[in-house]
Amino acid sequence: MKIVDVLKGLKNDGKILINTRKKPNEYPFSEKYKVATVDATGVAIKYGILVGGIPVVNTPILGAVPKVLDKVTLKSIQSVIQEKWKGEQGKQNVKATQDAYDATEMNF
């Protein structure tokens, strides 16, 4: 199996968002790059965002994005989620984005 260097080509001030329980400074590349971490898997499990018992991390990761980038707001993401998913499913996904946003840690 070939290992891909996901940092290859990233600019020195590039930003990396990682789904992990680790802190940003626990990565050796955190001195060179801007690192953000969030336990998106844990958030997905907490809110029952699962498919076949497997956590689906896309919604929690979306919640972390506005904290890392200033191009999108958490409120705009939550509005789209509420439009797309009605009822309890939408509420749980909105809560997941908020939790992930609040839990995201950055070294910048």
Asked if the structure places residue 4 within a domain, the reply is no
Average per-residue pLDDT for the chain: 96
**CATH code for the domain of 43:** 3.40.920.10
The pLDDT tens digits for 22-75 are: 999 999 999 999 999 999 999 999 999 999 999 999 999 999 999 999 999 999
Q: Which residue has the tokens 């809560």?
A: 95
| pLDDT for residue 88 | 95
The percent of residues in the chain predicted with pLDDT above 70, rounded, is: 100
Q: Is the pLDDT of residue 1 over 90?
A: no
Q: Is the pLDDT of residue 12 over 90?
A: no
- Residue-number span of the structural domain to which 44 is assigned: 15-106
Asked if the structure places residue 30 within a domain, the reply is yes
H or E, element range at 68: helix 58-68
As to burial, measured by CB atoms within 10 angstroms (0-12 exposed, 13-18 middle, 19+ buried), residue 64 is buried
User: Which amino acid is present at 80?
Assistant: V
Q: Which residue has the tokens 């060179």?
A: 32
